[in-house]
Each structure stands twice: as C-alpha cells, then as structure tokens.
Structure 1
Amino acid sequence: MAATLPPPRLLPSGDSAITVEFSRNIDDAANGRVLALDRAMADTPVEGVTETVPTYRSLLVHYDPVRISFEALGEHILALAQLPIPEATKTRRWRIPVVYGGEHGVDLEDVAKTLKTTPDDIVARHVAGDYRVAMIGFTPGWSYLSGLAASMQMPRRQNPRLLTPAGTVSIGGVQTGVQCLAGPSGWHLLGQTAVRTYQLHRDPTFLLEPGDAITFVPVDTKTFAEQDRAAAAGEIVAELMPS
C-alpha cells in the first residue's frame, strides 16, 4: 500500500541536512510514514548520516557532506520511503495522571465557555481521547499528541503567555500536548501532570517516544502533590499499561 503513495519531497536544509516531507498537512498517515522511515534508517545505518529528527509530517536527516552526497543520500531515502510500512508489533500505552482546572489549568473555564459547555464536560471529553505521540520538540520532552476530538479543537490564544508551568497539559488547534519544562505557550491550559517526560539524570531521560499511545486520567490536587514529590525524586508516576 505504501508503494502506491507519492514519494516524499526532498528539500535541502543547508548543506548538511535533508528535510523529507511526506505532507503539507498534519495527519496520522503522514506521521506514520515519517516514523516508519525513521525506524528504517535506524535499522539500516548509512555511512555519513549523523542524526534523524522525526516531526509530524517530515523527517529531518542530518549528514556529513564529506562522507555522503545529497544525491546519494536522497536516492537511499527515496528507496526506503517506498517500502511497505510494517505493522506495529507492539505499541506502548501510557496512562498519564492530570489535575484539571483551578490554578493547574487556568484556561479550563474559558475553553468551556468558548465551546459552549461546562468544565466537567471538557475534562470528560479530554480524558475520553485516545492519543498518540506524533513528535517531541520545541523544548526537551514537549510531547505533541494527535487524536484530539474535533469537538475540542479551537484556535490558539491570540496573546501567547511568556511563561507557563512545567507539566502543563494543553490544547491548541488540532493538537493536545504535554509540556515538560516551564516555558512560553500560546495553547490553552487545561491541567497539569506530575509526570516528567524529560528528566536529565533519570533512566530513561526521555519517557515518551513518537508512536506511544497516551490516555489521560484525572486526579485530585492531593494526589497531584504526592505524585509531584515522587516524580521530583526520579519516580516515573505514569503507568505503562501491559501490552
């Protein structure tokens, strides 16, 4: 089936990287091809390739132009990109606890008003979603998730905040996401999780990987505080479900 799909576009990114673009839109089909190519390149290492970075709809391939040319690498990439996408043998599913609303989710009330419903309904809709990690980016551990219900989608804030809390769980456009470190954001803050998707001196340093499945579970403020203390000490408070 993958062989019937159009080949990706190969775009030079400076003199030492290639952007392999599968689509100009955010969609799971394109992201599936991105992750399949990323795995294929990891399984069949190429002399001169130094790093691959998967995104929603493209794969950035860094290479050493002294060791391999753009043309040679491009041919190899196109050949791998046309291979059938193998069926996933195992998908990791994480249950991530979230405390919604109040000081932990300051935009929950406004989101409910905008969507003409109640905060409780917004929470119910959000936890009912079946999400997938499409990419990691922006800041360490920032996990972009596909699968947000159409009834939850809304434009980003007109005025982004310069600082939002670590652990924020938010929505923006067609996406939801888990922000690990404190930082700027134009998304709508629904809640907060104690889960550290990135923790420098923990093994693993990065908890979530592209392709992982995510389910959110609501918790109260007391549970959040307990989990936050445990996570600060290096515990993984997310639950990895049996495969």
Structure 2
Amino acid sequence: MSNTENQAVGGEATVVFQTMGDTAFSVEFATKVDRVANARVMALHRMLAKAALPGVIEAIPSFGALVIQYDPLSTSRAELQQAVEAMLPQLKPEAAAGRLWSIPCCYDAEFAPDLAEVAERRGLTPAAVVQGHSQGRYFIYMLGFMPGLAYMGGLSETLHLPRRSAPRLKVPQGSVAIAEAMTTIYPWESPGGWHLIGRTPVRLFEQHRPEPILFAAGDEVTFRAVSRAEFDKIAAEVAAGRFNHGSLKVMS
C-alpha cells in the first residue's frame, strides 16, 4: 500500500493518508480549519476508540486530520489503513455536544499590548476590536502546544491578522490572543507569536482539580468583558482556591 492514497468518503469528501515516521500515519480530511471536516475527524476518532484495534497506541485529532500511532510489533500500517478505509463509509459526523463557557476577559491596555496595533491595522478603534472579539462564539477544535491551550475558531473576519513577525519570548499566563481566524488563551507563561488583546484571571490548567484542564475539544467559548476591579477580584479568588470554575459553565 502506498504511503499516500486518496479514498472517497461517502461521496462527500476525499481522504489523504500521509506517513508520519515509522510508527504513525495521518488520515487527512481537510488542510484548513473546517467544522465539517473536524466533525468527520472526531467521528473516526470515536469509531477507532470503540473498535480497539490491536496495536493502536494513540489516535490524536487535530483540525482536519487524525494521527494514528501504532506498535509495529503488533500490527502494520497496511493493516491499520485497511481497517480505517473500511470505517470511512460508515462515519456518522455529529454536531458537537460540548459545553459552553463564558470567560471573563479584561481588555485594559496593561493586559492588551497589541490592541492598538490590531485596531490600526484593521482600520478599527480599540473599542470596536474589543466589541468584535467579545461578541464572538468560538469553537474549540483541539488542545495542543501546552496543557490547556485551546485552538478556538470563529474569529470575526474584521479581526483577521497573521501572527506577529517577531514572537515574544514571554507571554503572561491568561493572555487572550488572536491570530488569523482564531483566538486562544495562554494557560502558562510561554513564548508566543499571537496578538495580545486582553487577559483572563481564570486558570485553564490546575493539577489539583478533578479535571485539571478546563476546556475540551468540541466545547464553545464566549468572552465577557470585565473591568480591572472585577479582574482583580476573580484573580484573588483563584489564587486563594475559592473560585468556582463551574460558574463559568453556561450549559452542559
């Protein structure tokens, strides 16, 4: 079997199988951020988990592809690809049944070093950028890069910009950022090249919680603009371990 092969999926799409090293391959439904393709990725992910094929170590979903890692002593790429091909016509993409979160975000200048530049480059006022961002409803396609970091699609086209040409070496924890068609929240202090337009006092990862990572793929997020005083109040509750993260959940 070839390393790359196209297969029809129910007459609706084309799948590309790509080799990823000696013990993994990807099943690619799309090369761009697409809710329909992502629904097919997640449907295949569910089918693989249910099938429990021998030798599969892990299946990792992304925007438009599913990476399958396997043990070459227990199975082969050819055997697994054949099994996946048999599943493709049976895929039943379903609408995401995730949770909806309302996340407080302070857009004050201290927390938004790129807000003025984003506004200037998009021909908007800073207030219009805040309004455009806070009125969005964002779909979490995947988590990655670091624990708790969510790649959220659905950013208004009026705010689309490529990533910064010079990434920062340190982005503060809780920074709310945008790049291209997406928004995210940095769960840790880390390097980063997205445009910083606000900050949340909410911690997206805390090891002591029953579910350490707040978000999951398939969830949706809205941002609620808060004052600096409310930001500080929530931050103090978080630091003291008194903040109820369940209060951020709009629905299950």
For the superposition of Structure 1 and Structure 2, which TM-score range results when normalised by the shorter chain? over 0.9
Distance in 1 of aligned mates of 2:198 and 2:96: 32
> 3-state SS of the aligned residue for 1:100?
coil
Tell me which amino acid in the other structure corresponds to 1:189: L
Q: Which structure's CA Rg is the greater one?
A: 2
Shift of 1:192: 0.8
* 2:224 corresponds to 1:217: yes
Match of 2:164 in 1: 157
Cα separation, partners in 2 of 1:6 and 1:142, compared to 1, 3 Å: same
Normalising to structure 1: TM-score of the pair?
0.92
After superposition, residues 1-243 of structure 1 pair within 5 angstroms as 3-88=10-95, 90-232=97-239, 233=241, 235-236=244-245, 239-243=248-252
> 3-state SS of the aligned residue for 2:10?
helix
Shift of 1:89: 7.2
State whether residues 23 and 70 of structure 2, in contact with CA within 8 Å, keep that contact through their aligned partners in structure 1.
yes
In structure 1, runs of 5+ residues without a counterpart are: none
Distance in 2 of aligned mates of 1:138 and 1:242: 27
Distance in 2 of aligned mates of 1:7 and 1:117: 40
* RMSD between aligned residues: 1.9
Tell me which amino acid in the other structure corresponds to 1:77: V
What percentage of residue pairs aligned between the two structures are identical? 35
Cα separation, partners in 2 of 1:18 and 1:166, compared to 1, 3 Å: same
In structure 2, runs of 5+ residues without a counterpart are: 1-8
Distance in 2 of aligned mates of 1:89 and 1:217: 22
State whether residues 166 and 180 of structure 1, in contact with CA within 8 Å, keep that contact through their aligned partners in structure 2.
yes
**Once the two structures are superposed, what CA deviation does each residue of 1:63-101 show, in whole Å capped at 9, x if it has no partner?**
111111111111222233332424337331111111113
Kindly tell me the number of residue pairs found equivalent between the two proteins.
243
